[in-house]
Structure 1
């Protein structure tokens, strides 16, 4: 190693010892070991040397490079340790303070009510059935005894696709979950040609061309279906009464059944529930005929029409049943005090933070209705 190179190494090591921060160390590293550094330049000269010269000079240059690299690494470690010591001397952490809160999701009221419905009806022996949201008009209308002239088939009420359905007609976004009832009965007959009892609920999304404070183009509905022998209207009333008492968590539920008309049930009944006005708000409970009380229409129901049972491949003289349907969103509004259905689908996180449920402390109906049944 030449005297000049030895002096450069000594100067470099001295500058490293005096370097005040990591930036100064980095500047020295680039000056010595960077692509244009003076030690890198010495290494490049090895290729032009004769084998004898290379054998003599290479070990000295490599030793010089290693000495400077080790000194740079050591000085970096010293500066980092000094910085850490300074931070530890000045910074304090109060371990008694609560941990900062982190963002967390919440369960949408519709999902919460869906879970509650499934839990209640499971206690009553119902299974959950599902079906496609894109239906053909045979399942959505014809199989449910809805004639071609029925207003629900009108273009201004139903979202149609231009595609032709397998059985003729058109494809559409289902207007109710009743097609699931038809599909379930057909599947039951396929598996049991003589027929078998059916007890299902069919929750899901449905679509109608409507939009205001109490209607949206897409909403959620749950329908129930029971098919068995010797079924009558009393079974329907008991089922609905038991369900509503469990869902609203009160025994003070009074129902009124009014004659109505639905193509797929006969007889058909609208179900009203009694309420009273408390602090300007409707509270379910009590007789709707008492002073300060009233009746609120809640759902539609009835005995399954003979024609629907026949279309499903069952003998209506042997098999009877009842069906009912109610809006899941409406149930959520009544139970949890919401007044505008459109807010359910606005995606406003402030609304969801207020009305949503924590996945850790969701209200539960685990007590069920088994004891009452």
Structure 2
């Protein structure tokens, strides 16, 4: 009955997420804790923490129009990172389908607030209840494929966080615990989990299983654009020794995109890049090891803004990232990652808009090859 009422409300009114969330919380006698209140609530259980960091990002000229800046200079301020370890006593934790933990009538929020809360209560799927001693919960969000659900989100917000958790726990606790969250269901997810020491039979999709535990390990997501550098280096520490991929080349690579945010005049762009001996990296599935090798062996990376650039965390210091943007989507998280990886960075955003899209994140990109040629000649010191 409750689900039917909520569905009716959602179909009737377009701006109801917060209203419906409040209704559901009242119906189920639950209290939602904001991120700030969750941190306060879990303070007695803090196992590890990393302080806020401020990283200066210099201004970045627009290579399409050098009199303008793509990014003004700013301070990138991270969030404090936490790992919490709490035992539940006589009551076990209950997990919502999209990963959130409910304990003593409170929904904990270690990630990005409550816009997805309603989704937890609209699922018609019956989940299998299982009991475990210790559960690690690294992620609590609905994967919509727009705001959350891609390669960047998994690597930075799940895999890197798992490495933070691993460093905070005793080895036996980490290896014996089960991990449960709404799975991304990708090959790279399975590979990363294996690389950071999680056995396949210790992983449960929270949309299918309601894992109840006596001990719960949580960690928070920090700033979406400015992740804690300690998490990035923890991930590198876990993954790189196992793959053992050394830099043997210094390639100039162009990373193509086949779907949204592709370069509309890519044929002309590729013809120009032949002049500079670029290798073309096609948009197709690759193993984690293949992606690490491509970026480890790159000295110059150019391409449209996209999740593949998450892999610059594998680059050697001094590598140059040159990022292409549509006019309505200019975001600095790869500029930030390049900074903490001690890389060089350039950006290009042409003012021509390539038609209307539902989301700015989907808009394609036009590149003036004449303008780009001038920029590359300067960068490569061609007279």
The TM-score with structure 2 as length reference comes to: 0.20
| TM-score where L is the length of structure 1 | 0.20
Pair member with larger Rg: 1
